Chain A
Amino acid sequence: DVKVTQSSRYLVKRTGEKVFLECVQDMDHENMFWYRQDPGLGLRLIYFSYDVKMKEKGDIPEGYSVSREKKERFSLILESASTNQTSMYLCASSGQGRPGANVLTFGAGSRLTVL
């Protein structure tokens, strides 16, 4: 089974703290994505990566950065957390150049609360 694992299910941080959200996939997928999900706004793409050390901004990259040093791992970093970054964060991955390549496999999500 394709597996996307997010390191933390629930986090509570204080304003100004640095936050790392880790995501690991075990299917050798080229593409990895970070979304945030808020009520009424659906899933919004923060960043994605189509290869090691490559990253592209999504729709709402402000206040976030990412790191992809290894193919299986994609990290989302909040340099200085703010209360408006309280949200559910979903990591996803997909393959490339094969049937069904655009189907996303999601992790279970990380619910971040910033106080």
Chain B
Amino acid sequence: EDKVVQSPLSLVVHEGDTVTLNCSYEVTNFRSLLWYKQEKKAPTFLFMLTSSGIEKKSGRLSSILDKKELFSILNITATQTGDSAVYLCNIVRNAGNMLTFGGGTRLMVKP
């Protein structure tokens, strides 16, 4: 059975801290891994990772995929209160359009 596991489940940090969120997976026919950020409403897209070892970066956020060890990390440096959200990891498989989400990591950044 396909599995996508995110850790930690939740995290509380202070502004300025650096955080690392983890997504590990066991899926058949892996195509790509996507990260989303969900604040109060709809998740919004952050990164799509297809190849191992290539870092994607957007401002203070970065992410990398390890297809050998089957995980991805999402790093946020110099956190701000606006980074408080649930971060979702999503695996896209080659077979059809089935997409599998992890349970999410809830991040709270305190001032």
Contact = CB atoms under 8 A, between A and B. Distances in A.
A61 interface: no
Which range holds the interface residue count of chain B? Answer: 20 to 34
B42 A107 contact: yes
Nearest to B5: A42
A33 B31 CA distance: 18
A82 to B, nearest CB: 23
A21 B75 CA distance: 36
Contacts, number: 58
Contacts of A50: 96-97
A105 B90 CA distance: 13
B88 A43 contact: yes
Nearest to B102: A42
Interface in B39-75: 41-45, 48
A44 interface: yes
Interface residues of A, number: 26
Contacts of A102: 31-32, 34, 48, 92, 99
Contact of B104 (A31, A35, A42, A90): A42
A48 interface: yes
Interface in A57-115: 58-59, 90, 94, 100, 102-109
Contacts of B44: 106
9 contacts: A4-B42, A40-B103, A42-B6, A45-B98, A48-B98, A56-B97, A103-B48, A106-B43, A106-B44
Instruction: Across the A-B interface, give the 10 residue pairs with the lowest CB-CB distance, nearest first.
Output: A106-B42, A42-B103, A43-B101, A102-B92, A108-B41, A103-B45, A42-B101, A42-B104, A106-B43, A108-B42
